[in-house]
Chains A and B, each alone.
Chain A
Amino acid sequence: MESSGNKLIIAGYSEYPGPRYCVQGDNSGEDFYHSILNDAFYLAVTKQEKLTVDLDGTAGYASSFLDEAFGNLSYDYSSETVKKYLVIISNQEPDWKDTIMNHIIPDWEQRRTKGNKPKKTHNHAEWYRLENGTLTKKIWS
Chain B
Amino acid sequence: MVQAGEWNPNKKNMELITVCHGAFVIQDTMKVSDWIAIVNIVVTTLVGLWIGISVRRNFTINRAVKDYFILECLEIKKGYSNFLNCLYQNSKSSKSIIEWLKIMTIKIDIFEEFLKEEFKVNPQVLKTHNKLKQYITETEEFNDNYKSPNFELTPTIKKNIIEIHEGFSKELTKIVIEINKASKSNNWKKKKK
Binding partners A and B: yes
Query: B102 touching A92 by the CB < 8 A rule?
Result: yes
B99 at the A/B interface (Cβ < 8 Å)?
yes
Segment of A1-9, A36-44, A57-65, A128-136 engaged in the interface with chain B: A57-65
- Given known pairs A92-B102, A95-B105, the reply for A24 and B143 (CB within 8 Å) is yes
Interface of B: prevailing SS = helix
In the complex, how many angstroms separate the beta carbon of B159 from the nearest chain A beta carbon?
19
Query: A60 touching B147 by the CB < 8 A rule?
Result: no
Query: B134 touching A59 by the CB < 8 A rule?
Result: no
Residues of A within 8 A of B130 (CB): 95
B168 at the A/B interface (Cβ < 8 Å)?
no
In the complex, residue of chain A having the shortest beta-carbon distance to the beta carbon of B106: A92
Query: A63 touching B102 by the CB < 8 A rule?
Result: no
Please, how many residues of chain A have a CB less than 8 angstroms from a CB on the other chain? 20
Query: A24 touching B144 by the CB < 8 A rule?
Result: yes
- Given known pairs A63-B133, A63-B137, A64-B138, the reply for A21 and B143 (CB within 8 Å) is yes
Residue interface bits B112-128, CB-to-A below 8 A is 1, else 0? 00000000000000100
A112 at the A/B interface (Cβ < 8 Å)?
no
- Given known pairs A64-B138, A94-B109, the reply for A24 and B147 (CB within 8 Å) is yes
Query: A59 touching B137 by the CB < 8 A rule?
Result: no
In the complex, how many angstroms separate the beta carbon of A19 from the nearest chain B beta carbon?
4
A99 at the A/B interface (Cβ < 8 Å)?
yes
Residues of B within 8 A of A67 (CB): 138
Query: A92 touching B134 by the CB < 8 A rule?
Result: no
In the complex, how many angstroms separate the beta carbon of A88 from the nearest chain B beta carbon?
15
- Chain B, interface size category, equals 20 to 34
Query: B95 touching A59 by the CB < 8 A rule?
Result: yes
Interface of A: prevailing SS = loop
Residues of B within 8 A of A62 (CB): 94, 98, 137-138, 142-143, 146
B73 at the A/B interface (Cβ < 8 Å)?
no
Which residues of chain A from 46 to 83 have any CB-CB distance to chain B below 8 Å in the complex? Answer: 58-64, 67
A85 at the A/B interface (Cβ < 8 Å)?
no
In the complex, residue of chain A having the shortest beta-carbon distance to the beta carbon of B126: A95
Query: B143 touching A59 by the CB < 8 A rule?
Result: no
In the complex, how many angstroms separate the beta carbon of B137 from the nearest chain A beta carbon?
4
- A24 and B106 alpha carbons, distance in the complex (Å): 27
- Given known pairs A25-B147, A94-B109, the reply for A60 and B98 (CB within 8 Å) is yes
Query: B102 touching A93 by the CB < 8 A rule?
Result: yes
Query: A61 touching B98 by the CB < 8 A rule?
Result: yes
Interface, chain B (partner A; CB < 8 A) = 94-95, 98-99, 101-102, 105-106, 109, 126, 130, 133-135, 137-138, 142-144, 146-147
A-B contact pairs, 20 of them (CB 8 A): A18-B146, A19-B94, A20-B143, A21-B143, A24-B143, A24-B144, A25-B143, A25-B147, A59-B95, A59-B98, A60-B99, A60-B101, A62-B98, A62-B143, A62-B146, A63-B133, A64-B137, A95-B126, A95-B133, A95-B134
A-B pairs with the 10 shortest C-beta distances? A60-B102, A62-B137, A25-B146, A19-B146, A60-B98, A19-B143, A63-B138, A95-B130, A63-B137, A63-B134
